[in-house]
A and B are shown apart, each in its own frame.
Chain A
Amino acid sequence: MARKILRINMSTLKAAYEDVPEKWARWAGRGLTSAITCDEVDPLCHPLGPNNKLVIAPGWVTGTPAAPSSGRTSFGGKSPLTGGIKESNAGGLSGQMIAKLGLGAIIIEGTPAKGKWYTLVVSKDGVKFEDAADLLGKGMYEVDEVLWKKYPKTAVIGIGQAGEMKLSNAGISVNDPENKPGRYAGRGGMGAVMGARGVKAMVIIDTGGPGVDIVDKELFKQGRRKLTESIQEHGLTKKAGGLNAFGTAVLVNILNEAGGLPTRNFSAGQFEGAAKISGEAMAELCEKRGGEGMMGHGCHPGCIIKCSNIIPDENGNAVASCVEYETTWALGANCGIDELDYIAKMTRECNDIGLDTIEAGNTVAIAMEGGLLKFGDAEGALATFDEIRKGTPLGRILGQGVEATAKAFGVSRVPVVKHQSMPAYEPRAVKGIGVTYATTPMGADHTAGYTIAPEIAGVSGKLDPLSNEGKAELSLTFQAATAFIDSTGYCLFIAFPILDIAKGWEGMAESVAGVTGQNITGADVVPIGKEVLKMERLFNERAGFTAEDDRPPEFMLNEALPPHNVKWTITNEQLDSVFAWVHDGHAA
C-alpha cells in the first residue's frame, strides 16, 4: 500500500488521510518535513501562531525489517528559536511505528479552543482526540507512565512543562524501549510548536498497520547487508568499540586534548575536569554501581551501534538516559561543573521538563557569566531547572535559551548563530565545524555537517582542525551528505563507518533505492542532499535571512581562545561561498 499523509486539524478536531502528492513522493524524513514546511508554512508566520505546522516524518527505510539503526523520526516546521526552518530528529520508538502504520508524514495544523489540550491517539483506525487536561503541568516521566498504563508498548511523543509554556527551548520527547523520556528532538524549540497546536502528547499504536512497502527486496537486502557489515567492522561502531563501550561522551577527552572543548561559556578550549565527565568516567561509574546503570543501551529496537547509556545513582537506580557528549559538555565543562551525578540529575530535569540539553547548558553558563550564580556551582545550576518547571519569571527567561538570558543578564559573549546556541565544539579551534555552525539553515548545529570526523576523529582522512584551508567545501559536502542521511531514517552515526568503508556508503544508498524504487546510488547522496539544503535555504531567505545571518558571533573574531590562542579567521567571502550555488539555477 502506498504511503499516506495523515493530516490532523486541531481547529476542527478532524483527521484525514491523503495520498502523497507527486511533488513529495521522492521524500521522507528531513527531506519530507522540509518539503512540506516549504510548501505549506508561510516563512513570515509567527512560529507559535495559527499558521505554523508541526510535520512529523519517519525516514525512507524506517520500519523496514532489520535495517540497522534506522528508527529516526524527523520533526519539522518553523522554529521559534531561530525563526527559520527546522528539522530536528530523534530516536526512540515513534519512527518505526509511524512508518508501520503506512504513514509518510503526519501534519498537525490549526489551533483548538483556548485552554483545550489533547492527546492524539494514532492507530490504523485513525486519530482519537482525547482530552489531556489530566496531563497538564506534568513532566514527561509521568506522562509516559500514565499513557503506557492505558496504551502499553506504544510510542509516546510528548512535551513537558516547557512546551506547554511555549518556551523557545522546548523539545519534543520520544519514549525509549524502557518507556523513559530522553530521546529528544531537542533543538530549535519544536516542543513549543507542538504546544502551540494544543497537543500535549501523541500515542502511536502500530498494531495491524500495513507496514512499509519495499519495491525491490533483493536490492534492499543487499544494501542492508553491506551497511550492516560496515557498521560491524568499523572500530568506532562495532560491538565494544568506542561508541558502544563509552557512548558519544568518548569525545570529551579528545576535544579537550585538541583544545576545542568549549569551557565556561566559550572562554577556554580546555577543561581541567574533562576526564571526570567523560564517557570513560561514565563507564567506570556504571561498572562500579551496577544496578540499572549501563553503557551500550539502544535508543530503539534494531540499533546495532547502541551508543546510549543509563546513568545510575549510588544505589544503582537509574537517574537519566541518555547522558550524551553534548549533554555532559553543556551541563558540565561549559558550566565549569565536573560532577557526573549533578550532570545526570540535570539531564533528568531536562528530559522531564522537556528542554534541549545543549541550549539548557549554554543558558546556565550565560547565567553564570551574568552573575546569577558562579561557574562550578552544581547545586545552584540544578536549582535553576525548578524555576523553569514552575514557570517563574526567571524560569521563563531561562527557558527561552541563551539569547534571551544573555539580554536579561547583560552578557555579550553569546555563542549563537541564527539565535541558536553552539554545541560542544569550539569553532576557533576546529574551523570546519564553525563553517557548519555559521552556514547551516538550522542555526548553530554540529549534526548538520559533522566535519569533526576528519578534523578530530580521523574518519574519512585527517585534516588539520586549526587550518582554514578547504573548510568551506568540506562543510558543504558534509552538510549535503547529512541532509541525505537525515532523510533515510538511519542514525547519523552510520556516517562514521560509511565514510571509511566504501561498501557501507553504497549499501546505504542501495537500501534506500530498494525500498523506494528510486534509482539512487552512492553517487547521488550528495546531490540529493543539496536539493534538501536548497529548499531550506530558500525558506530562510523568504523568512528574511541574509548573508549577515551566516556569521559566527563577534567575540570569536576578537578573543583569542586558549590553549592555542586562536581567533576565528575564516573570511566572510569563504562563508558566503558555501551556499553560492543555491542561486546558480541548478541544485548540484
Chain B
Amino acid sequence: MRVTVKLFATLVRFKDGTRAGKPFEVDLPDASIVRDLIDHLKIPPEETHVVFVNNIIVENDSKLKDGDVVGMFPPVGGG
C-alpha cells in the first residue's frame, strides 16, 4: 500500500529535503500499522507524540490502508 506522510516541527529532521507539512509518499507492506510506518521512517517512537490518520488522532497500533494521509507531531502546545 501507499500512504501520504506529513511531518511537523522537530520531526522534519527524519526526512531529507522535507519541510513541515510537505507531503511525501511511502510504500508499506499490506496490513501495516502506524508503528510500522514510524519504524520505516527511522523515527524513535518516543519522538512521535500525536499521530493523525485522515485528520483523526490514532494510536500507534492503528491499521493503515492504501491512500491514508498520516500527519505526525512531536509534543506541541501553546495557547
Using a CB–CB cutoff of 8 Å, the interface residues on chain A facing chain B are 234-236, 241-243, 245-251, 253-254, 257-259, 274-275, 278-281, 284, 307, 324-326, 446-447, 450, 452-453, 456-459, 462, 464-466, 492-493, 496, 563-564
With A and B bound together, what is the CA distance between A241 and B9 in angstroms?
9
Q: A257-B55, A457-B50 are in contact. Are A248 and B79 (CB under 8 A)?
A: yes
| Interface pair A246/B9, CB less than 8 Å apart | yes
With A and B bound together, what is the CA distance between A249 and B50 in angstroms?
16
| Interface pair A254/B73, CB less than 8 Å apart | yes
Residue from B9, B57, B77 within 8 A of A462 (CB atoms): B57
With A and B bound together, what is the CA distance between A563 and B71 in angstroms?
15
Q: A235-B49, A253-B8, A458-B49 are in contact. Are A324 and B20 (CB under 8 A)?
A: no
Check B10 for interface membership: any CB of A closer than 8 A. yes
| Interface pair B79/A457, CB less than 8 Å apart | no
Q: How far is the CB of A259 from chain B (nearest CB, A)?
A: 5
| Interface pair A563/B55, CB less than 8 Å apart | yes
| Interface pair B9/A249, CB less than 8 Å apart | no
List, in ascending order, chain B residues with CB within 8 A of A280's CB.
8-9, 12, 19-21
**Within residues 5 to 64 of chain B, which ones have a CB less than 8 A from any CB in chain A?**
6, 8-10, 12, 19-22, 49-50, 52, 55-57
Main secondary structure of the interface of B (DSSP, over half): loop
| Interface pair B75/A247, CB less than 8 Å apart | no
| Interface pair A496/B77, CB less than 8 Å apart | yes
Q: A257-B55, A259-B55, A464-B57 are in contact. Are A236 and B21 (CB under 8 A)?
A: no
Besides A453-B77, A457-B76, 17 other CB < 8 A contacts?
A: A235-B74, A242-B9, A242-B74, A242-B76, A242-B77, A243-B78, A245-B9, A246-B9, A254-B50, A254-B71, A257-B6, A257-B55, A279-B9, A325-B78, A452-B77, A458-B75, A493-B79
With A and B bound together, what is the CA distance between A248 and B50 in angstroms?
17
List, in ascending order, chain A residues with CB within 8 A of B73's CB.
253-254, 257
With A and B bound together, what is the CA distance between A258 and B57 in angstroms?
8
Name the CB-closest residue of B to A259: B55
With A and B bound together, what is the CA distance between A564 and B56 in angstroms?
9
Q: A257-B71, A458-B50 are in contact. Are A248 and B78 (CB under 8 A)?
A: yes
List, in ascending order, chain B residues with CB within 8 A of A462's CB.
50, 57
Residue from B10, B12, B20, B50 within 8 A of A456 (CB atoms): B50
With an 8 Å Cβ cutoff, the count of chain B residues facing the other chain is: 23
| Interface pair A236/B20, CB less than 8 Å apart | no
List, in ascending order, chain A residues with CB within 8 A of B6's CB.
257
List, in ascending order, chain A residues with CB within 8 A of B57's CB.
258, 456, 458, 462, 464-465
| Interface pair B78/A251, CB less than 8 Å apart | yes
With A and B bound together, what is the CA distance between A337 and B21 in angstroms?
18
Pairs A–B under 8 Å by Cβ, sample size 30: A235-B75, A242-B10, A243-B77, A243-B78, A246-B9, A248-B77, A248-B78, A249-B78, A250-B9, A253-B71, A254-B8, A254-B73, A254-B76, A257-B8, A257-B73, A275-B19, A278-B20, A280-B8, A280-B9, A280-B20, A281-B20, A325-B78, A326-B79, A447-B79, A453-B77, A456-B50, A457-B49, A462-B50, A493-B77, A493-B79
Q: How far is the CB of B4 from chain A (nearest CB, A)?
A: 12
Q: How far is the CB of A250 from chain B (nearest CB, A)?
A: 5
Name the CB-closest residue of B to A464: B57
Name the CB-closest residue of B to A260: B55
With A and B bound together, what is the CA distance between A524 and B18 in angstroms?
47
Q: How far is the CB of A394 from chain B (nearest CB, A)?
A: 31
